[in-house]
């Protein structure tokens, strides 16, 4: 029985240690030994002061106190890191006296139970309860306020119509109207945070959505910031209101821009993830991860903890209202998703949004739908481009739009790819003009031997080359200037396939 018990204790996932009356270690198990990263052997026979791991800084003090008084100390919470994990961990430490009838206190035992994951879940629960109640408050105020604004705006309009021309009150009324419009914008954001905005969700493609806002984001962030759009998720259908997800992307891009006053890089990417993990409120299932990362100033812990709260801002008065992330939070919640921030001061920021993946094809060609502004296709396209990153980008964009894509790094490779693909059709050749080896026009001629009548779209970063002379194109040639945006590429490809002329200079 005793032998079995000691086997159980040795293997227990809780740390156990025993000291004699002088505070010298007599027994400890693996879990306890691991706390300061030394072997059991190295710690046996040591006084408690020598073996207290940094995480249990108060261990020796507690052991000595229990030895002196006999009063146990139960469930003391201790926190720290250990040699094996630099992250902050939490334990409950209990120290109690061990007595014999004859000799009184003969030693002290300690039991250490790790509660790190429980603490994390508690913190998450607390945070979401807080957001919930702030949301209810904000939603209530916004709702009433909206009604008041309707009255204010209506009355101003009435007053304006019955106003005589040149009346000095006219200018004041316009100011009232402007202020009311600003207030109404704020209430809309508050309603979004409180998840009270009206949604019109449909099944959309997240990849297409990020491609279609590419141009808009570029305009928002300005020229000093590079934008990389990576529609990498192989499945990307989610049930969402595209205008609201677009709003989320805009808010995040604006924050990123503000965090990179000296320039930097903004990356918008998608991925399929199997599960958000049981640590996250999103739970199990498959999700589309939409990640927005910047290389900017980053956030300290304090800012990160409060960032989603409405009206929390570190920006000077007049520059930020603190509603950007609150709006994102509300929108993502309303979509049954989760949103979280990873950031370190000086190391940039990544905001990750998980939206539940749906098992249905994205709807197409719904009028007014931001995700469907980009023209799609299912034709086969051969890309010939010696610059690997440009080729990858074009291929990724076109695949996300539904095309089948073949790739080659030069004219010779292109010819063998094309021959191997026979007799299946290739509808379009997208070729760089200036490349080592065959130039674009030669590539086109060779491929036309294999695929007579194939349509050709040339791209180049040089304004003067074999097909562009003095900024003028040869007649009947479709040309797309580099660098091109995903949206421009999508449009140019569609136009050439549909037999329309393209001149994108
Ligand atoms: N990408 C980021 N990098 C660094 N800090 C950020 C980033 N995004 C948000 N923050 C921090 O979080 C705070 C809250 O962001 P939020 O978008 O909610 O409000 P805001 O940008 O200050 O104002 P608003 O968006 O209403 O104009 C910001 O003031 C900033 O301190
Ligand atoms: Mg903001």
Among candidate residues 244, 356, 255, 377, the one with its CA nearest the CA of residue 307: 255
Residue with more model confidence, 219 or 239: 239
For the segment 5-17, the average pLDDT, to the nearest whole number, is: 90
C-alpha 153 – ligand 1 centre gap (Å)? 30
Residue 473: which pLDDT band, with cuts at 50, 70 and 90? low
Please write the tens of the pLDDT for every residue from 154-187: 888 888 888 887 888 888 898 898 888 888 888 8
Using the atom order of ligand 1, give the atom closest to the CA of residue 312: 14
- CA 414 vs. chain centroid, Å, equals 37
> Does domain 120-193 fall into CATH 1.10.287.130?
yes
Q: Atom 12 (ligand 1): residue with closest C-alpha?
A: 307
Residue 229: which pLDDT band, with cuts at 50, 70 and 90? very high
Residue written as token pair 């020598």: 50
Which ligand sits closest to the CA of 329?
1
Q: Atom 10 (ligand 1): residue with closest C-alpha?
A: 255
The CATH code that applies to domain 202-356 is 3.30.565.10
C-alpha 483 – ligand 2 centre gap (Å)? 29
Q: Which of 182, 187, 255, 318 to mutate to test the pocket of ligand 1 (most atoms within 8 A of CB)?
A: 255
C-alpha 323 – ligand 2 centre gap (Å)? 7
Using the atom order of ligand 1, give the atom closest to the CA of residue 319: 27
C-alpha 258 – ligand 1 centre gap (Å)? 8
Ligand 1 pocket check for 299: Cβ under 6 Å: yes
Which CATH architecture best describes the domain 2-114?
Answer: 2-Layer Sandwich (3.30)
For the segment 404-429, the average pLDDT, to the nearest whole number, is: 93
Q: Tell me the C-alpha distance between 260 and 311, whole Å.
A: 21
> Reduced to 3 states, what is the DSSP secondary structure of residue 269?
strand
* Cis ω for the linkage preceding 281 (within 30 of 0): no
C-alpha 118 – ligand 1 centre gap (Å)? 29
- Residue 314 is predicted with a pLDDT of 93
C-alpha 314 – ligand 2 centre gap (Å)? 10
Q: Tell me the C-alpha distance between 399 and 489, whole Å.
A: 12
- Residue 148 is predicted with a pLDDT of 83
Torsion angle (degrees, nearest 10) of CA 462, 468, 472, 478: -100
Tokens of 67: 């030895």
CA distances from 468 to 116, 396, 462 (A): 65, 27, 9
Please write the tens of the pLDDT for every residue from 268-313: 999 999 876 544 545 568 999 999 999 999 999 999 999 999 889 9
Q: Atom 29 (ligand 1): residue with closest C-alpha?
A: 313
Question: What angle separates helix 324-334 from helix 116-161, to the nearest 10 degrees?
Answer: 110
Q: Atom 1 (ligand 1): residue with closest C-alpha?
A: 256
Ligand 1 pocket check for 307: Cβ under 6 Å: yes
Q: Atom 9 (ligand 1): residue with closest C-alpha?
A: 255
Protein fold of 375-504: Rossmann fold (3.40.50)
Q: In what order do the strands lie in the sheet with 428-432?
A: 404-408, 380-384, 428-432, 455-460, 478-481, 503-504
Please write the tens of the pLDDT for every residue from 41-92: 999 999 998 877 766 778 888 999 999 999 999 988 888 888 777 788 899 9
For the segment 438-463, the average pLDDT, to the nearest whole number, is: 88
C-alpha 273 – ligand 2 centre gap (Å)? 27
Please write the tens of the pLDDT for every residue from 117-149: 998 888 888 888 888 888 888 888 887 888 788
Q: Which of 308, 313, 329, 332 to mutate to test the pocket of ligand 1 (most atoms within 8 A of CB)?
A: 313
Which region among 201-205, 417-421, 478-482 has the lowest average model confidence (pLDDT)?
Answer: 478-482
Q: Tell me the C-alpha distance between 418 and 338, whole Å.
A: 45
Residue 329: which pLDDT band, with cuts at 50, 70 and 90? very high
Q: Tell me the C-alpha distance between 373 and 215, whole Å.
A: 12
For the segment 4-27, the average pLDDT, to the nearest whole number, is: 91
Please write the tens of the pLDDT for every residue from 89-125: 899 999 999 998 888 899 999 999 999 999 888 888 8
% of the chain residues with pLDDT over 70: 91
CA distances from 50 to 47, 107, 120, 244 (A): 6, 17, 31, 59
Q: Which of 138, 190, 322, 347 to mutate to test the pocket of ligand 1 (most atoms within 8 A of CB)?
A: 322
Which ligand sits closest to the CA of 343?
1
- Residue 283 is predicted with a pLDDT of 56
DSSP state of 316: P
Ligand 1 pocket check for 256: Cβ under 6 Å: yes
Ligand 1 pocket check for 321: Cβ under 6 Å: yes
C-alpha 255 – ligand 2 centre gap (Å)? 5
- Residue 279 is predicted with a pLDDT of 47
- Residue 143 is predicted with a pLDDT of 78
Please write the tens of the pLDDT for every residue from 354-407: 999 998 877 654 434 444 567 888 899 999 999 887 888 888 888 888 899 999
Ligand 1 pocket check for 315: Cβ under 6 Å: yes
C-alpha 122 – ligand 2 centre gap (Å)? 28
Domain ranges of the chain: 2-114, 120-193, 202-356, 375-504
For residue 1, pLDDT beyond 80: no
Highest mean pLDDT among 219-233, 343-357, 435-449: 343-357
- Residue 96 is predicted with a pLDDT of 95
CA distances from 319 to 58, 144, 301, 314, 428 (A): 47, 26, 22, 9, 48
For residue 249, pLDDT beyond 80: yes
Ligand 1 pocket check for 292: Cβ under 6 Å: no
For residue 250, pLDDT beyond 80: yes
- Residue 385 is predicted with a pLDDT of 92
- Residue 365 is predicted with a pLDDT of 45
**Could you tell me where the beta strands, DSSP code E, fall in 120-165?**
none
CB 32 within 8 A of CB 18: no
CB 23 within 8 A of CB 48: yes
Which ligand sits closest to the CA of 322?
1
C-alpha 322 – ligand 1 centre gap (Å)? 6
C-alpha 240 – ligand 2 centre gap (Å)? 22
Q: Which DSSP string do the residues of 217-237 spell out, in sequence order?
A: HHHHH-TTEEEEEEE--S--E
For residue 457, pLDDT beyond 90: yes
């Amino acid at each position: 029985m005793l032998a079995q018990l000691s086997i159980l204790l040795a293997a227990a996932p809780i740390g156990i240690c025993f000291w004699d009356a002088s505070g010298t270690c007599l027994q400890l198990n693996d879990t306890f030994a691991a706390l300061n990263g030394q072997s059991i052997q190295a710690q046996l026979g040591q006084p408690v002061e020598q073996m207290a791991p940094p995480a249990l800084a108060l261990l020796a003090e507690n052991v000595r106190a229990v030895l002196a008084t006999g009063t146990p100390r139960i469930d003391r919470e201790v926190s720290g890191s250990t040699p094996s994990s630099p992250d902050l961990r939490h334990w409950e430490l209990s120290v109690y006296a061990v007595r014999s009838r004859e000799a009184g206190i003969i030693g002290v035992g300690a039991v250490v139970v790790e509660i790190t994951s429980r603490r994390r879940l508690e913190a998450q629960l607390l945070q979401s309860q807080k957001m919930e109640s702030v949301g209810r408050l904000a939603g209530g105020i916004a709702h009433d306020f909206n009604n008041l604004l309707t009255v204010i705006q209506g009355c101003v309009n009435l007053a304006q119509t019955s106003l005589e021309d040149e009346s000095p009150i006219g200018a004041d009324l316009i100011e009232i109207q402007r202020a009311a419009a600003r207030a109404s914008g704020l209430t809309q954001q508050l309603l979004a945070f409180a998840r009270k905005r009206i949604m019109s969700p449909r099944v959309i493609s997240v990849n297409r959505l990020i491609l279609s806002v590419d141009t808009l984001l570029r305009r928002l962030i300005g020229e000093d910031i590079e934008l990389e759009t990576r529609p990498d998720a192989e499945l990307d259908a989610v049930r969402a209101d595209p205008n609201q997800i677009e709003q989320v992307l805009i808010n995040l891009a604006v924050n990123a821009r503000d965090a990179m006053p000296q320039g930097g890089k903004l990356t918008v990417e998608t991925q399929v993830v199997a599960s958000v993990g049981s640590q996250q409120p999103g739970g199990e299932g498959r999700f589309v991860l939409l990640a927005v990362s910047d290389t900017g100033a980053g956030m300290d812990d304090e800012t990160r903890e409060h960032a989603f709260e409405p009206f929390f801002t570190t920006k000077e008065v007049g520059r930020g209202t603190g509603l950007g992330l609150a709006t994102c939070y509300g929108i993502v919640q309303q979509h049954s998703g989760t949103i979280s921030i990873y950031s370190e001061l000086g190391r940039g920021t990544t905001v990750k949004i998980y939206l539940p993946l749906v098992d249905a094809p994205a709807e197409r060609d719904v009028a007014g739908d931001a995700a469907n502004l980009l023209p799609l296709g299912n034709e086969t396209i051969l890309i010939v481009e010696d610059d690997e990153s440009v080729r990858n980008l074009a291929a990724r964009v076109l695949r996300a739009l539904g095309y089948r894509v073949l790739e080659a790094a030069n004219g010779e490779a292109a010819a063998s790819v094309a021959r191997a693909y026979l007799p299946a059709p290739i509808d379009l050749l997208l070729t760089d003009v200036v490349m080592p080896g065959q130039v674009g026009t030669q590539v086109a001629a060779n491929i036309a031997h294999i695929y007579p009548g194939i349509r050709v779209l040339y791209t180049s970063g040089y304004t003067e080359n074999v097909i562009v002379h003095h900024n003028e194109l040869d007649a009947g040639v479709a040309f797309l200037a580099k660098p091109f945006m995903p949206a421009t590429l999508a449009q140019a490809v569609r136009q050439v396939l549909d037999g329309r002329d393209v001149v994108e200079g």
